[in-house]
Amino acid sequence: MPMRFTELESRYALEVLNHGFRTSTNSGMIRRFEEAFARKFGSRFAISFANGTATMHAALASAGVGPGHEVIVPPLTMAATCICVVHAGAVPVFADVDPDTWTLDPRSVAVRISPRTKAIIPVALYGLSADMDPLMELARKHGLFVLDDDAQCFLGYYKGRVVGSTAHASSFSFQATKHMTCGEGGAVTTDDPELAEKIRKMASLGYGSIRAAAGSSLVKREDIQDPGYLRHFSIGWNYRLSELCCAVLLGQLERLEELVQIRLDSAKALAEAVAGCRWLVPQKVPTGNVHAYWTFACRLSEDAPCTWHEFRIKYLESGGDPFYGAWAMNYLEPVFRGKRFGDHQTQAFEPGLCPVAESLQSSLLQFKTNYFDPSRRANAAEAMRRTIAHFSKG
């Protein structure tokens, strides 16, 4: 039976522990992980972070996003996507989502662009990439930075390209529920060496000796030891990920195909159970895309024979596992609703701002896919069949 963690992760972690956390000659685990992660996701550089919110904050700041700027984001996602914009000192601008894929709609983005727009953050929602080609074309036309939030998408594909390789920079999360994890962590990928160096410095207190490539530095130990050595040439944060976490991640990365396949197998079983049900509609996967299925999400149609809560109660009674609804609209969360984050803010963070996303939110069901025990996957699929059959009577 597949396992969340194996001897491989333990062996790499023990390698770091046996090294004693020496700062002058570290185990090299961070470099090994970052180089392997960059290769896996088709990028020149990967920079590890303490979490997947710090990744986006540092990437935005490194791209020059700050006070007076706007960043276009979707409202239907975990709120870190817009919170990082506020961390950078900018104002989030919410664009609506596509009614079938539920990802950021390029048509809505186009009408939200203003002279203050500096960046766009699409989200690979539930493991499905946003429609990146038109978004990148909008960015090219208007001189915008695109940061792809891929926290929920590992080894997904967009038109034959691995998700994480299509934007100017991409952000990943290694939080405990993600496809691969060390408990908490994140990474940024990019092909731009200048941007990579800025991001790495942002994550490391602005140390001047840091370079884009993992483990590279132009400074010698005797230079650092000199009392006249100057370290900090820019403002940064202490967002670095530890060697011990990177050791676990390296093991997870080497098993990533296996870990992703577990999610795909679960999604397939659930999709087969849903097939033919007209009122329970899975997220649409456009031709040419590969979904990574962080979760298997469906929406109840307007003429569904049950409410969200009624479906959940019957699903649990039928032997299914508890599942989540979608996050509240970011702009309707208490920290944003009715608030202003800059004198130039033009959007009112109130109901009606993104009508498509609002119409979807209360009808979405997010079923778990991390079934390492095949019997539990089968139970979930059978619970789905029973629940659909119960509400489809007559």
What is the structure's pLDDT at 210?
65
What lies within 8 Å, CB to CB, of 126 at 6+ separation is 102, 152, 283, 291, 293, 294, 295, 296, 297, 366
pTM of the model: 0.94
**Cα–Cα distance measured from residue 259 to residue 381, given in angstroms and rounded to the nearest whole number:** 19
- Terminal-residue alpha carbon distance, the chain: 41
Strand residue runs (E) in the chain: 45-49, 70-73, 91-94, 117-120, 145-149, 157-158, 161-162, 169-173, 186-190, 280-282, 289-290, 295-300, 324-325, 364-368
What is the structure's pLDDT at 217?
54
What is the structure's pLDDT at 158?
98
Strand residue runs (E) in 75-191: 91-94, 117-120, 145-149, 157-158, 161-162, 169-173, 186-190
What is the structure's pLDDT at 226?
66
What element of type H or E holds 54?
A: helix 54-62
Instruction: Look at residues 140, 153, 143, 211 and name the one whose alpha carbon lies nearest to residue 180.
Output: 153
**Cα–Cα distance measured from residue 163 to residue 158, given in angstroms and rounded to the nearest whole number:** 6
What is the structure's pLDDT at 74?
98
Q: What fold is seen in the domain 7-255?
A: Aspartate Aminotransferase; domain 2 (3.40.640)
What is the structure's pLDDT at 23?
61
Show which residues are catalytic.
178
Residue-range domain boundaries for the chain: 7-255, 257-326+362-392
pLDDT (tens digit per residue) in 271-290:
999 999 999 999 999 999 99
What is the structure's pLDDT at 121?
98
Query: Would 7-255 and 257-326+362-392 be classified into the same CATH topology?
Result: no
* Residue stretches of the chain with pLDDT short of 70: 22-26, 208-221, 223-224, 226, 229-230, 394
- Reply yes or no on domain 257-326+362-392 having CATH 3.90.1150.10: yes
